[in-house]
């Protein structure tokens, strides 16, 4: 497996993952990331039928600067429920959106957080439209989603 050699801090999740690695730690970490990517892509495909463009914008807006590490990311929906200002700003119903986010599976919430993190860490931030940033981050939408 060829790739760039990097140095990372191995926190508790990585140390737990490496317990089953044997001698090939890189292979184990890459396998886990590969599985995670497949889960996110799968979940985002379904969300394209659920969230509108404006809702994705509101999600990214609300979660900007939110601590999405540890287990906090699992309750990302609560941030939306606490954000009535998103209704006027993005033309959405923040309560309905927060409730739909709450009903997402754990994998679905992870995919939402992944989009948000990719959106805000894009090297193209402030250079392209929100639509382009959302698409780069893996989000999709249709004009009349089915709740």
pLDDT digits (tens, 9 = 90+) for 52-89: 999 999 999 999 988 777 777 878 899 999 999 999 99
For residue 53, being part of any structural domain is answered with yes
Query: Average model confidence (pLDDT) for the chain?
Result: 89
Report the helix count and the strand count for the chain, using DSSP H and E.
8, 0
Considering its fold, how many domains does the chain have in total? 1
Q: What is the four-CA torsion angle of 110, 80, 102, 57, rounded to 10 degrees? A: -50
For residue 136, being part of any structural domain is answered with yes
Measured in degrees and rounded to the nearest 5, phi and psi for residue 103 equal -80, -10
For residue 147, being part of any structural domain is answered with no
For residue 2, being part of any structural domain is answered with no
All residues at 6 or more sequence positions from 16 whose CB lies less than 8 Å from its CB, including other chains: none
Q: Tell me the two tokens of residue 41.
A: 């892509």
For residue 34, being part of any structural domain is answered with yes
What domain range is 125 assigned to?
7-142
pLDDT at 57: 97
For residue 1, being part of any structural domain is answered with no
Using one digit for the tens of pLDDT, what is the confidence trace for 94-112? 999 999 999 999 999 999 9
């Amino acid at each position: 497996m060829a790739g760039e050699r990097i140095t990372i801090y191995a926190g508790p999740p990585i140390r737990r993952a490496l317990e089953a690695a044997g001698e090939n730690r890189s292979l184990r970490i890459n396998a886990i990331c590969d599985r995670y990517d497949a889960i996110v892509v799968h979940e985002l495909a379904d969300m394209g039928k659920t969230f509108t463009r404006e809702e994705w914008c509101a999600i990214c807006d609300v979660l900007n600067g939110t601590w999405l590490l540890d287990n906090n990311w699992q309750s990302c929906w609560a941030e939306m429920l606490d954000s009535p200002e998103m209704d006027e700003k993005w033309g959405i119903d923040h309560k309905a959106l927060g409730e739909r986010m709450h009903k997402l599976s754990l994998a679905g919430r992870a995919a939402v957080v992944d989009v948000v993190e990719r959106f805000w860490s894009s090297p193209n931030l402030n250079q392209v439209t929100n639509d382009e940033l959302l698409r780069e981050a893996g989000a999709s939408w249709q004009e009349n989603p089915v709740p």
